[in-house]
């Protein structure tokens, strides 16, 4: 232990130091994916340096070296982020400082400071990732850090098993307090300072613009987009259209969202409506997918007159919201002149052949818009149109090329082309994107919609019915709508593995199964933990008749819950108290001695019961009889060979005598 | 040690004003405790607990964590922060329990000579069936290395006190403390065990003094060494006879207790007299006498010690040695030091 001459660290603390050296990389590991590579490199370099110091019995770096390193670390962080505050830069700085602290641990106190900072490192992990896997992982980190803390204060090299057990037990015992504080500690909505998310990360999933191929591209993306739990039975798949974006403006190539629509009041839910709770993965956009047709919307969202729902804040973290839907009838809302114009607009040069076709239908059916819609759907179903994963590339005017040449496309090809045909025939039409189908997760009792379940369909304006949903995909590939993507692509060897129903190697099957379990766990975690917000807290308090926004309500809740916990802990401690293992006769003798102590007549440890009784009798002659009885009973109970009946007799005599020998 | 400062009650910790205040406070807190005697049990009503500096440091870090959790409305950060709050809170209970129910017994103190550190030995016993870690026992300003106990076990803890001048010391108070498991809190108890530490004078080797003194004193005889040559006289055991003198061979033969009686004519006791040593410094005299007492004891001879106004013996054996050394340790000091 020559290295101890260099630092004031004794063997028990040395083991604590090694545990710290194990805990720091474990606690910092999740940051490796979030921080610039140099941050983690600095951490590992400092760590390695410290290990080498121990292996070679080298000196710790001099103080001026440390000063330079700390300055360099701060400068580097500032150069990278332009600040040292905020989530990203602050965490980077913390990691660098934890790394450098490793190089100047000289005493027990330094180890303890490093361990406290390691707890902090674990907390900062959650600024970037709140998944259940990270939760489980950070429990491991916290367990290691706590074990190191115990060892540092253990006074000796503790057995590893006891160390592991103690650390684990401490965490388990802390759970009730954690739970109570989590539920009761007052929650304030919104950030106190700064913006919670500074880093722009590319948007995935649906976008504001739709062109041919955009949704087909999402087919490979098996990430979950939306999880939904229904309050009653889930409606049939063919009626579940999750409406996200409504696109009215067509420029000949693609569609664009119209966001400037006026806001309308929601109808409010009525009987027969479907109530659901959806959990949306971060989209970094404002849209909220809602079940068609929305009649009840979440509190912090707006309903536009094209029935698109927008959140008041960009969805940068997982968001849970509740909604109500009326499956059959859209709310009746008149079509404004302005909207009618926009829903009929076609660029002058767009789709000349389609316009001719639409003109023919109009000529044939006169005013019958319904018949024209039927003609278009007949065209898709009757002619050799294909619904395919890999639509061919299109040249020239895309609508015409698809409609008259390739005739192979994905849902956005059909939805867009139908809308163009309708507009050409003078029927207002628009394209909706959202999600359709999905996978029912029995284990979690919820519907899982992946990015791959993205879908596009059409709405047309019928003078007598208002906007009516027309899904051309239902005409060409009804299985896609009725049983989801795998209903159509389940046997297609080109389809992504998660859609296929057969012919998969067992490794892939297991990967998919694990992915399903993970999704269920994530959903549970989300609804149990992450969704708890000021609003949930208010509901919870209200259930007990308390007001969460009033400090008195919070105080009452804290006092009652923590007090109750304390009482419970006290009760458990009382029940688990070591039982009095003394013999009943011995207990009576001790009690007698305690009683007479006040008179200075406590029994000396060496005195037998008889000797004691004799001595007391000398001082208190009035107790002579009970004392004699007591001594006799005691001696018999302790030393004589008694049968059950005699034992009972002497017991009674003993307690009677004890009662009579009142000081 | 030969300086004039001989008041054993003066504790260096009491010299400063803060030290005195602290002492008064501790005395005020512990005034409700009964004196413990030779044994004490750490009961609930005498365990105190307060956060340590590390405890306050963690509190500060938790506060920052909490602010971060609130600012970013991060539920998992809330969870971990509150988990550590729970761990810190429960540490109070663990630390308390690490001390509670221990039994402390004073072991006989090995005598020490002035100049050498007297060692106070205490036995810690675990009877509640849980392991105890990192227990520290302090007496005066000295603290033992950390001790640990397996369930039901006991351990002897030695505290090497500071070397002191001769005398009898009663350490007024002992402090049993622990910071296990996390060092966030310290639980402690004050014990008022009856610990008597006797410090003998330093033996000062002056071999030549003994025969000269024997000549000069009529009653004292030169150290005779012819005892072994004479056959021992065997007589019946009488209560009070030293067990060292039991004639075990005869006992084995006859089944009765006999002792070897060596109080023969030329085994007259040697007297070690205060006046044997002529020196104006009483401490020097005591040191020389201490050496002579040890020497005479090593010779296995009956001997007596005469100090002004005091006479020990004549006798032989370890108890007698103890009495003589104690008389030397206490000589000229004002009774027992205040507790």
Q: What is the pLDDT of residues A277-329, one digit of tens each?
A: 898 888 888 899 999 888 888 888 888 888 899 998 888 777 888 888 988 77
* Closest to A306 (Cα-Cα) out of A431, A457, A212: A431
Q: B76 to chain A: which residues are within 8 Å by CB? A: 126, 130, 134-135, 138, 529-530
* Closest to A252 (Cα-Cα) out of A100, A401, A475, A444: A401
Enter the DSSP assignment of A80: H
Instruction: Name the minimum distance, in Å, from the CA of B215 to any CA of chain A.
Output: 50
Q: Does B147 reach chain A within 8 Å, measured CB to CB?
A: yes
A vs B: CB pairs below 8 A: 147
Q: B74 to chain A: which residues are within 8 Å by CB? A: 126-127, 130
**Could you tell me which residues are beta bridge partners of residue A461?**
A467
Least confident of A179-193, A314-328, B7-21, B183-197: B7-21
CB A324, CB A274: distance < 8 Å: yes
For residues A157 and A148, what is the distance between their CA atoms, to the nearest angstrom?
11
Q: Is the pLDDT of residue B157 over 80?
A: yes
Q: A162 to chain B: which residues are within 8 Å by CB? A: 131
CB A172, CB A30: distance < 8 Å: no
Q: Does A189 reach chain B within 8 Å, measured CB to CB?
A: yes
Reported as a single tens digit per residue, the pLDDT across A508-546 is 888 888 888 888 888 888 878 877 888 788 888 888 888
Those of residues 377-396 in A touching chain B at CB distance below 8 A are none
Question: pLDDT-based confidence at A583, cuts 50/70/90?
Answer: confident
* Closest to B37 (Cα-Cα) out of B189, B170, B188, B139: B170
Strand (E) or helix (H) holding B51: strand B48-51
Enter the DSSP assignment of B153: -
Reported as a single tens digit per residue, the pLDDT across B48-72 is 999 999 999 999 999 999 998 888 8
Interface ipTM: 0.74
Instruction: Name the minimum distance, in Å, from the CA of A166 to any CA of chain B.
Output: 9
* Inter-chain CB proximity A178 and B86 less than 8 Å: yes
Positive or negative: CA dihedral A126, A129, A133, A134: negative
Helix (H, G, I), strand (E, B) or coil at A573: helix
Q: Which of A19, A110, A170, A581 to mutate to test the interface with B (most CBs of B within 10 A)?
A: A170
Question: pLDDT-based confidence at A420, cuts 50/70/90?
Answer: very high
Reported as a single tens digit per residue, the pLDDT across A607-637 is 888 888 888 888 888 888 888 888 888 888 8
For residues B95 and B188, what is the distance between their CA atoms, to the nearest angstrom?
9
Q: Which of B53, B56, B90, B180 to mutate to test the interface with A (most CBs of A within 10 A)?
A: B90
Q: Does A529 reach chain B within 8 Å, measured CB to CB?
A: yes
Parallel, antiparallel or unpaired: strands B132-139 and B147-149: antiparallel
* Inter-chain CB proximity A533 and B73 less than 8 Å: yes
Q: A146 to chain B: which residues are within 8 Å by CB? A: 87, 182
Q: Is the pLDDT of residue A43 over 90?
A: yes
Q: B77 to chain A: which residues are within 8 Å by CB? A: 123, 126-127
Which residue among B64, B81, B133 places its CB closest to the CB of A155?
Answer: B133
Alpha-helical regions (H) of A330-446? 337-344, 352-365, 369-382, 398-401, 411-424
In sequence order, what DSSP letters do the residues of A93-153 get, joined into one string? Answer: HHHHHHHHHHTT--SHHHHHHHHHHHHHHHHHHTTT---HHHHHHHHHHHHHHHHHHHHHT
* Inter-chain CB proximity A123 and B134 less than 8 Å: no
Least confident of A37-51, A90-104, A402-416, A579-593: A579-593
Strand (E) or helix (H) holding A255: strand A254-257
**Could you tell me which residues are beta bridge partners of residue A309?**
A303
Instruction: Name the minimum distance, in Å, from the CA of B254 to any CA of chain A.
Output: 33
pLDDT at A663: 54
* Inter-chain CB proximity B72 and A532 less than 8 Å: no
Instruction: Name the minimum distance, in Å, from the CA of B174 to any CA of chain A.
Output: 20
Selection from A93-97, A337-341, A532-536, B278-282 with the highest mean pLDDT: A93-97
Count of C-beta atoms within a 10 Å radius of residue B255: 7
For residues A62 and A623, what is the distance between their CA atoms, to the nearest angstrom?
80
CB B211, CB B222: distance < 8 Å: yes
Q: Is the pLDDT of residue B261 over 70?
A: no
**Could you tell me which residues are beta bridge partners of residue B260?**
B234
Instruction: Name the minimum distance, in Å, from the CA of A325 to any CA of chain B.
Output: 30
CB A427, CB A372: distance < 8 Å: yes
Positive or negative: CA dihedral A547, A553, A554, A556: negative
Please give the positions of A annotated as active site. Answer: 411, 455, 471
Q: A126 to chain B: which residues are within 8 Å by CB? A: 74, 76-77, 80
* Inter-chain CB proximity A178 and B183 less than 8 Å: no
Question: pLDDT-based confidence at A118, cuts 50/70/90?
Answer: very high
Q: Is the peptide bond before A293 cis (omega within 30 degrees of 0)?
A: yes
Those of residues 570-589 in A touching chain B at CB distance below 8 A are 578
Reported as a single tens digit per residue, the pLDDT across B108-155 is 777 778 778 888 888 998 888 888 999 998 887 788 888 999 888 889
Q: Is the pLDDT of residue B216 over 70?
A: no
In sequence order, what DSSP letters do the residues of A434-492 get, joined into one string? Answer: EEE--EEETTTTEEEEEGGGEEEEEEEEETTTEEEEE-HHHHH-HHHHHH-HHHHHTT-
CB A384, CB A409: distance < 8 Å: no
For residues A249 and A430, what is the distance between their CA atoms, to the nearest angstrom?
8
Enter the DSSP assignment of B101: T
Those of residues 56-95 in B touching chain A at CB distance below 8 A are 57-58, 61, 64-65, 67-87, 89-91, 93-94
Q: Is the pLDDT of residue A216 over 90?
A: no
pLDDT at B223: 41
Q: A175 to chain B: which residues are within 8 Å by CB? A: 83, 86
Q: Does A153 reach chain B within 8 Å, measured CB to CB?
A: yes
Residue of B nearest to A159 (CA): B133
Alpha-helical regions (H) of chain B? 17-30, 53-71, 75-99, 209-216, 248-254, 282-298, 318-330
Positive or negative: CA dihedral A100, A105, A108, A109: negative
Q: Is the pLDDT of residue B262 over 70?
A: no
How much of chain B is helix, strand and coil, in % rounded to 5? 35, 25, 40
Residue of A nearest to B39 (CA): A605
Q: Is the pLDDT of residue A196 over 70?
A: no
Reported as a single tens digit per residue, the pLDDT across B292-327 is 888 888 777 788 888 888 888 778 778 888 888 888
Q: Is the pLDDT of residue B219 over 50?
A: no
Question: pLDDT-based confidence at B98, cuts 50/70/90?
Answer: very high
Contacts for B76 with CB less than 8 Å, ≥ 6 apart: A126, A130, A134, A135, A138, A529, A530
Count of C-beta atoms within a 10 Å radius of residue B203: 20
Residue of A nearest to B59 (CA): A116
Domain extents in chain B: 12-50+99-200, 56-94, 209-330
CB B1, CB B202: distance < 8 Å: yes
Residue of B nearest to A188 (CA): B70
Least confident of B69-78, B90-99, B100-109, B305-314: B305-314
Positive or negative: CA dihedral A176, A179, A183, A184: positive
* Closest to A369 (Cα-Cα) out of A456, A305, A465, A458: A465
Q: Is the pLDDT of residue B244 over 80?
A: no
Residue of A nearest to B128 (CA): A578
| Conformational region of residue B309, where left means phi above 0, alpha means psi within -120 to 50, and beta covers everything else | left
* Inter-chain CB proximity A149 and B182 less than 8 Å: yes
Enter the DSSP assignment of A278: E
Those of residues 170-229 in B touching chain A at CB distance below 8 A are 179-183
Question: pLDDT-based confidence at A191, cuts 50/70/90?
Answer: low
For residues A357 and A113, what is the distance between their CA atoms, to the nearest angstrom?
78
* Closest to B329 (Cα-Cα) out of B152, B164, B87, B159: B164
Instruction: Name the minimum distance, in Å, from the CA of B21 to any CA of chain A.
Output: 29
Q: Which of A151, A178, A530 to mutate to test the interface with B (most CBs of B within 10 A)?
A: A178
For residues A624 and A628, what is the distance between their CA atoms, to the nearest angstrom?
6
Domain extents in chain A: 2-184, 213-499, 534-575, 584-660
Which residue among B64, B71, B135 places its CB closest to the CB of A191?
Answer: B71
Q: A174 to chain B: which residues are within 8 Å by CB? A: 83-87, 89-90
For residues A399 and A418, what is the distance between their CA atoms, to the nearest angstrom?
9
For residues B82 and B68, what is the distance between their CA atoms, to the nearest angstrom?
13
Instruction: Name the minimum distance, in Å, from the CA of B145 to any CA of chain A.
Output: 8
* Inter-chain CB proximity B133 and A116 less than 8 Å: no
Domain B12-50+99-200 sits in CATH at 2.60.40
pTM beyond cutoff 0.90: no
* Closest to A52 (Cα-Cα) out of A95, A3, A115, A94: A3
Long-range (24+ apart) CB contacts under 8 A made by B250-259 are B258/B234, B259/B234, B259/B235
* Inter-chain CB proximity A153 and B135 less than 8 Å: no
**Angle, vertex CA A348, rays to CA A344 and CA A353, nearest 5:** 90
Alpha-helical regions (H) of A3-62? 11-28, 37-56
**Could you tell me which residues are beta bridge partners of residue B175?**
B138, B190
* Inter-chain CB proximity A126 and B133 less than 8 Å: no
């Amino acid at each position: 232990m020559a290295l101890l001459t260099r630092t004031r660290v004794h063997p028990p603390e040395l083991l604590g130091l090694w545990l710290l050296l194990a805990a720091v990389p474990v606690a910092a590991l999740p940051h490796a994916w979030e921080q610039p590579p140099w941050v983690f490199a600095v951490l590992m370099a400092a760590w390695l340096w410290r290990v080498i110091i121990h292996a070679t019995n080298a000196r710790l770096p001099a103080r001026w070296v440390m000063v330079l390193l700390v300055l360099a670390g701060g400068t580097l962080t500032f150069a990278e982020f332009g600040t040292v505050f905020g989530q990203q830069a602050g965490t980077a700085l913390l990691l660098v400082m934890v790394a450098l602290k490793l190089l100047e641990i000289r005493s027990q106190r330094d180890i303890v400071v490093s361990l406290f900072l390691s707890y902090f490192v674990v907390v900062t992990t959650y600024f970037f990732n709140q998944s259940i896997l990270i939760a489980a992982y950070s429990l491991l980190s916290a367990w290691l850090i706590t074990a190191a803390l115990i060892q540092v204060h253990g006074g000796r090299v503790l057995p590893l098993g006891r160390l592991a057990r103690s650390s684990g037990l401490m965490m388990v015992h802390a759970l009730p307090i954690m739970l109570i504080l989590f539920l009761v500690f007052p929650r304030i909505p919104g950030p106190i300072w700064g913006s919670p998310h500074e880093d722009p990360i590319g948007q995935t999933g649906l976008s504001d613009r739709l062109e041919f191929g955009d949704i087909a591209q999402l087919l490979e993306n098996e990430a979950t987009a939306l999880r939904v739990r229904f309050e009653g039975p889930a409606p049939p798949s063919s009626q579940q259209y999750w409406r996200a974006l409504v696109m009215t403006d067509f420029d000949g190539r693609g569609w664009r969202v119209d966001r400037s629509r006026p806001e309308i009041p929601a109808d409010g839910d009525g009987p027969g409506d479907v109530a659901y709770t959806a959990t949306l993965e971060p989209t970094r956009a404002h849209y909220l997918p809602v079940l068609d047709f929305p009649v009840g919307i979440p509190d912090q969202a707006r309903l536009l007159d094209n029935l698109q729902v927008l959140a008041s804040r960009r969805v940068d973290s997982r968001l849970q919201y509740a909604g109500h839907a009326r499956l059959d009838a859209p709310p009746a809302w008149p079509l404004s002149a302005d909207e009618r114009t926009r829903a009929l607009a076609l660029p002058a040069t767009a789709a000349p052949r389609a316009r001719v076709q639409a003109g023919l239908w109009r000529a044939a059916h006169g005013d019958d818009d319904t018949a024209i819609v039927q003609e278009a759907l007949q065209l898709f179903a009757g002619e050799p149109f294909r619904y395919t994963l890999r639509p061919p590339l299109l040249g020239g005017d895309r609508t015409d090329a698809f409609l008259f040449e390739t005739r192979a496309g994905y849902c956005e090809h059909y939805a867009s082309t139908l809308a163009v045909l309708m507009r050409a025939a003078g029927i207002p039409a628009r394209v909706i994107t959202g999600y359709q189908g999905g996978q029912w997760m029995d284990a979690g009792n919820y519907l899982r919609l992946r990015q791959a379940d993205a879908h596009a369909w059409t709405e047309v304006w019928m003078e007598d019915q208002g906007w009516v949903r027309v899904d051309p995909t239902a005409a060409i590939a009804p299985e896609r709508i009725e049983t989801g993507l795998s209903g159509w692509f389940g046997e297609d060897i080109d389809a992504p593995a998660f859609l296929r129903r057969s012919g998969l190697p067992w490794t892939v099957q297991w990967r998919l199964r694990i992915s399903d379990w993970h999704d269920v766990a994530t959903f549970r975690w989300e609804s149990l933990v992450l969704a708890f917000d000021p609003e949930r807290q208010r509901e919870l308090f209200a259930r007990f008749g308390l007001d969460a926004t009033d400090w008195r309500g919070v105080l009452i809740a804290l006092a009652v819950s923590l007090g109750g916990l304390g009482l419970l802990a006290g009760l458990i401690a009382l029940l688990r108290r070591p039982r009095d293992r003394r013999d009943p006769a011995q207990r009576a003798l001790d009690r007698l001695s305690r009683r007479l102590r006040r008179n200075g007549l406590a029994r000396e440890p060496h005195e037998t019961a008889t000797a004691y009784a004799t001595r007391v009798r000398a001082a208190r002659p009035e107790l002579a009889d009970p004392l004699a009885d007591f001594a006799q009973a005691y001696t018999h109970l302790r030393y004589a060979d008694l049968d059950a009946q005699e034992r009972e007799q002497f017991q009674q005599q003993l307690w009677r005598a004890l009662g009579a020998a009142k000081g | 040690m030969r300086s004039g400062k001989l008041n054993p009650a003066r504790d260096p910790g009491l010299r400063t004003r803060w030290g005195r205040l602290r002492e008064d406070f501790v005395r005020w807190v512990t005034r409700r405790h009964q004196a413990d005697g030779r044994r004490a049990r750490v009961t609930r009503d005498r365990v105190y607990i307060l956060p340590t500096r590390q405890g306050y440091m963690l509190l500060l870090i938790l506060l920052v964590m909490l602010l971060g959790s609130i600012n970013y409305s991060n539920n998992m950060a809330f969870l971990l922060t509150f988990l550590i709050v729970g761990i810190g809170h429960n540490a109070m209970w663990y630390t308390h329990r690490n001390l509670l129910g221990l039994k402390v017994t004073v072991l006989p103190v090995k005598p020490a000579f002035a100049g050498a550190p007297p060692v106070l030995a205490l036995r810690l016993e675990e009877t509640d069936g849980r392991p105890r870690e990192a227990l520290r026992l302090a007496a005066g300003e000295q603290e033992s290395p950390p001790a640990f106990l397996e369930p039901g076990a006991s351990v002897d803890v030695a505290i090497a006190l500071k070397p002191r001048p001769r005398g009898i010391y009663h350490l007024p108070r002992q402090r049993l403390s622990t910071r296990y498991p996390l060092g966030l809190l310290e639980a402690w108890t004050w014990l008022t065990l009856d610990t008597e530490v006797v410090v003998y004078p330093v033996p000062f080797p002056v071999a030549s003094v003994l025969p000269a003194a024997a000549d000069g004193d009529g009653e004292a005889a030169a150290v005779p060494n012819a005892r072994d040559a004479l056959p021992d006289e065997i007589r019946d055991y009488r209560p009070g006879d030293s067990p060292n003198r039991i004639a075990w061979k005869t006992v084995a033969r006859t089944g009765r207790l006999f002792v070897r009686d060596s109080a023969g004519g030329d085994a007259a006791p040697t007297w070690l007299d205060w006046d044997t040593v002529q020196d104006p410094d009483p401490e020097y005299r005591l040191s020389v006498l201490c050496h002579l007492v040890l020497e005479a004891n090593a010779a296995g001879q009956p001997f007596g010690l005469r100090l002004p106004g005091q006479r020990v013996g004549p006798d032989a054996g370890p108890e007698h040695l103890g009495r003589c050394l104690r008389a030397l340790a206490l000589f000229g000091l004002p009774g027992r030091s205040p507790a």
